Amino acid sequence: MTTLFDKYGGFATVSKIVREFYRQILQSPTLKPYFQGANMERLIDHQTKFIAHVLGGPAEYTGRELGAAHARLAITGEAFGEVAAILQETLEDAGMEPADVATVMGIVAGARGDVVTA
């Protein structure tokens, strides 16, 4: 069975999606402060592998558990909602079909409890 990862062009597409995702996040006054002091290149590398994994690609995600990675950040529900909206828009702009966007967003929604701690 073809994975979403293969369907949408593999690492080249995922990498483009992730870069556009963070470009928009850093333009948001709500979100930018959370990422002050984060090593963006490392973050982009992890996020690329994570999204590739969610799409069924070959990359092994070797970063910390999501709960541990976000625990000290006191992320609000509002901030989470904004990140999710940016991701959805980025996937749509990359030409992903609505049903596939819904699949990915369902997985993201499932991680809300691990990420939102404020």
CA angle 9, 51, 19 (to 5 degrees): 75
* CA dihedral sign, ordered 111, 105, 6, 25: negative
Residue with tokens 């979403």: 4
By CB under 6 A, tell whether 44 contacts ligand HEM. no
Q: For the chain, what's the residue count? A: 118
Measured from the Cβ of residue 102, the count of other Cβ atoms closer than 10 Å reads 12
Site for ligand HEM in 1-30 (CB under 6 A): none
Q: Rule CB under 6 A: is residue 31 a binding residue for ligand HEM?
A: yes
38 near ligand HEM (CB under 6 A): yes
Q: Based on the shown chain and the rule CB under 6 A, indicate whether residue 35 belongs to the binding site for ligand HEM.
A: yes
Indicate whether 43 belongs to the interface with ligand HEM (CB under 6 A): yes
Residues interacting with ligand HEM, by CB under 6 A? 31, 34-35, 38, 43, 46-47, 50, 63-64, 66, 69-70, 73, 75, 79-80, 83, 108, 111, 115
